[in-house]
């Protein structure tokens, strides 16, 4: 029996320092994706907050008990629009008082939380005056996470994880990889598309990348270029910069055809 298409959507944002304003913008874009028929919608990394004050996310971190305005927003918005909603990344309580877990939270179309992934690989970069050290305010996770959704098996990742192919192999066989991100302009321009397409080709699955994309009030510039890629590495849809929604259909028959014609996953000898 032919499996039906599943419409997926990537939300791109240019988040600022006002959490309420960011949630309102995310809500507007989720509604747009739902109106386009999306069954699964992914928000970008740091969708609730991007600011020059790296400690601000610590002050708004939430406990892992379902309380807090960010979790309430995700739960209620998923239920309202009847979509599976992947909350790009949210600042969650860590084991130390001055850090957060950078966490992807997933809610089904009834508003029930079905998965949580804590970012494992923490970004560090220095080039001239440009400097980032996520480990200063973020506590790394340690568990690879996937879940069964409306489009098959979904593997969760965040931003810098993209550079570690062994991480995606550890997911096992998945139909869709979701990667929320806030790639810097410098690294995004150099590597973003090639790495995303490589992960799709290597794992013979769809990749949905939802990014921050533009000039933020803090002065930071993120690369953007949210996109959806098929298992052959073809870019189906993309948005170079600015807030918006990217929509495409995940076709299970396309996954099956690629894996049948080039059974690379079966030919693996290591891992």
Tell me the pLDDT tens digit for each residue of 43-81: 999 999 999 999 999 999 999 999 999 999 999 999 999
Q: Is 205 a catalytic residue?
A: no
Phi/psi for 130 (5° steps) reads -90, 125
Q: Is 159 a catalytic residue?
A: yes
Tell me the pLDDT tens digit for each residue of 156-186: 999 999 999 999 999 999 999 999 999 999 9
The catalytically annotated residue of 119, 134, 151, 205 is 119
Q: For strand 206-211 and strand 226-229, is the pairing parallel, antiparallel, or unpaired? A: antiparallel
pLDDT confidence of residue 119: 98
Kindly report the average pLDDT of the chain as a whole number.
96
In the CATH hierarchy, which top-level class contains the domain 7-261?
Answer: alpha beta
Is 124 a residue whose pLDDT tops 70?
yes
The catalytically annotated residue of 25, 45, 93, 139 is 45
Q: What are the CA-CA distances from residue 125 to residues 33, 55, 134, 203, 252 (Å)?
A: 33, 18, 9, 27, 38
- Gap between the Cα atoms of 45 and 22, Å rounded: 12
Tell me the pLDDT tens digit for each residue of 187-240: 999 999 999 999 999 999 999 999 999 999 999 999 999 999 999 999 999 999
- Gap between the Cα atoms of 149 and 107, Å rounded: 10
DSSP 60-113: T-B-TTS-SHHHHHHHHHHHHHT-EEEEEEEEEE-SSTT-EEEEEEEE-TTS-E
pLDDT confidence of residue 1: 58
pLDDT confidence of residue 128: 80
Q: Is 193 a catalytic residue?
A: no
The catalytically annotated residue of 139, 159, 205, 241 is 159
- Global confidence as pTM: 0.97
- Gap between the Cα atoms of 177 and 217, Å rounded: 30
Tell me how far the alpha carbon of residue 146 is from its chain's centroid: 13
Domain boundaries, the chain: 7-261
């Amino acid at each position: 029996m032919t499996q039906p298409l599943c419409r997926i959507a990537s939300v791109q944002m240019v988040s600022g320092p006002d959490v309420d304003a960011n949630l309102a913008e995310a809500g507007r874009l989720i509604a747009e994706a739902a109106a386009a028929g999306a069954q699964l919608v992914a928000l970008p990394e740091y969708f609730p907050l991007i600011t020059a004050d790296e400690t601000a996310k610590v002050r708004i971190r939430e406990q892992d008990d379902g309380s807090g305005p960010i979790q309430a927003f995700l739960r209620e918005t998923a239920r309202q629009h009847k979509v599976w909603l992947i909350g790009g990344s949210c600042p969650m309580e860590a084991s130390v008082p001055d850090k957060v877990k950078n966490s992807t939270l997933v809610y089904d179309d009834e508003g029930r939380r079905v998965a949580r992934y804590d970012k494992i690989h923490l970004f560090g970069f220095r080039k001239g005056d440009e400097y980032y050290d996520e480990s200063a305010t973020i506590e790394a996770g340690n568990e690879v996470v996937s879940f069964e959704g409306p489009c098959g098996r979904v593997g969760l990742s965040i931003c810098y994880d993209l550079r570690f192919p062994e991480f995606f192999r550890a997911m096992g066989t998945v139909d869709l990889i979701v990667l929320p991100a806030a790639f810097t302009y410098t690294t995004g321009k150099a590597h973003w598309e090639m790495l995303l397409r490589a992960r799709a080709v290597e794992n013979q699955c769809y990749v949905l990348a939802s990014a921050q994309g533009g000039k933020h009030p803090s002065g930071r510039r993120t690369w953007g270029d949210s996109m959806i890629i098929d298992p052959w590495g073809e870019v189906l849809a993309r948005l170079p910069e600015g807030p918006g929604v990217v929509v495409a259909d995940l076709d299970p028959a396309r996954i099956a055809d690629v894996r049948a014609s080039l059974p690379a996953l079966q030919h693996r000898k290591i891992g």
